[in-house]
Each structure stands twice: as C-alpha cells, then as structure tokens.
Amino acid sequence: MSSETVTSFGDVIAAERKRRKWSLRELADRVRSEKGTPVTPQYLNDIEHGRRIPADIVIEGLAKALDIQKDVLFHLARKFPPDIPTEDLTAKTIEEAYKAFRRSLRK
C-alpha cells in the first residue's frame, strides 16, 4: 500500500486488489473465513462497497494477501486488533492510550 491518505476499508481493499489486477475470485481464493473455507467473491464485493465489516480472521487474511499492515486495516474497519486487550480496561487506561495515539499523530 502506498503512503497516500487512506479512505475507507472497502476502498483500500478494492484499490489494492485492482492494482494487482486480481479479480474478486482471485482475492477470495487467498482469504479464509472463520470456517477455514475461502471467502466468496460476493462477500468481498460487499466489503469493497462498505456493506460488511469482516471478522478479524478475514481482516488478517486480507492484510496478508494484499501485503497491507494489519493494524491499518483494523483501524479502517474501526476495530481493535485481537492482540490489543479491550476487556476490563479502566477509563484512565483508555484515556492514556488515546492521548499517546494522538501524540504520535502530531509528529
């Protein structure tokens, strides 16, 4: 993925797929669902058009297939990556995490 400003999750997936000149089927064959089977081209089409936000395993598969940092895709999907704890957090911990994130964006 280039260093251009990113737009939406679906736009990034579609742009990277098209840059590689892959059909929906070709990308679908590279990405597994929660059941371990390839996702369908229709499922990817729904993602690209903003009709679905995929499960974590699908986001990770898309990141790998398209060589995009998974943290970028999780951010665009407005989800936390599974390695970041989200349960039992105090308000103070959440506030400090967002302050650190904002500081890093200002650099």
Q: Over the range 24-46, which residues count as b (16 or more CB within 10 Å of their CB) and which as e?
A: beebbeebbbeeeebbeeebbee
pLDDT given for residue 1 in this prediction: 52
Query: Would you kindly state where each structural domain of the chain is located, as residue ranges?
Result: 9-106
pLDDT given for residue 6 in this prediction: 61
pLDDT given for residue 5 in this prediction: 60
pTM over 0.75: yes
For the chain (length 107 residues), average pLDDT per consecutive 10?
69 97 98 96 97 95 98 95 90 93 89
9-106: CATH number: 1.10.260.40
